[in-house]
Amino acid sequence: MNFVFSDREESFKPNIFSVLNEKKNQRLKEGKVVYNLSVGTPDFKPDEHVMEAVSKACLNPDNYKYALADMPELLEAVQNWYKRRFDVSLEKDEIMSVYGSQEGITHVCLALCNEGDIVLVPDPCYPIFSTAPFLVGAKLEYYKLLKENNYLPDLEGIDPEIAKKAKAMIVSFPANPVCKTAPDEFYVKLIEFAKKYNIMIIHDNAYSEILFDGRKGTSFLKFEGAKDVGIEFNSLSKSYNLTGARISFALGNKEIISKFKNIRTQIDYGIFLPVQYAAIAALNGPQDILERNRSEYEKRRNALCGGLRKIGWDIPDSEGTMFAWGPLPEGYTNSEEFCMELLEKTGVICTPGSSFGPLGEGHVRFALVLPVEKIEELIDVIDKSGIIKK
CB atoms within 10 A of CB 285: 16
pTM of the model: 0.96
Map residue 116 onto helix, strand or coil.
Answer: coil
Tell me whether strands 118-123 and 323-327 are parallel, antiparallel or unpaired: unpaired
Averaged pLDDT of the chain:
96
pLDDT tens-digit map of 103-135 = 999 999 999 999 999 999 999 999 999 999 999
Q: How far apart are CA 192 and CA 344, in angstroms?
A: 49
Q: What's the pLDDT score for residue 39?
A: 86
Q: Is the peptide bond before 358 cis (omega within 30 degrees of 0)?
A: no
Map residue 142 onto helix, strand or coil.
Answer: strand
Map residue 8 onto helix, strand or coil.
Answer: helix
pLDDT tens-digit map of 172-225 = 999 999 999 999 999 999 999 999 999 999 999 999 999 999 999 999 999 999
Compare 30 and 232 and report the one with higher pLDDT.
232
Residue 323: phi and psi, rounded to 5, are -130, 170
Reference 290, options 209, 176, 195, 191; nearest CA is: 209
CB-side neighbour CA atoms (13 Å) of 255:
7
Q: How far apart are CA 331 and CA 354, in angstroms?
A: 17
Confidence band of 24 (pLDDT split at 50, 70, 90) = confident
Q: What's the pLDDT score for residue 19?
A: 80
In the chain the domains, ranked by start, together with CATH numbers, are 7-44+289-385 (3.90.1150.10), 48-284 (3.40.640.10)
Q: Is the pLDDT of residue 358 over 80?
A: yes
Out of 9-23, 96-110, 322-336, least confident range: 9-23
For residues 193 and 156, the answer to whether their CB atoms sit within 8 Å is: no
Reference 341, options 37, 23, 41, 28; nearest CA is: 23
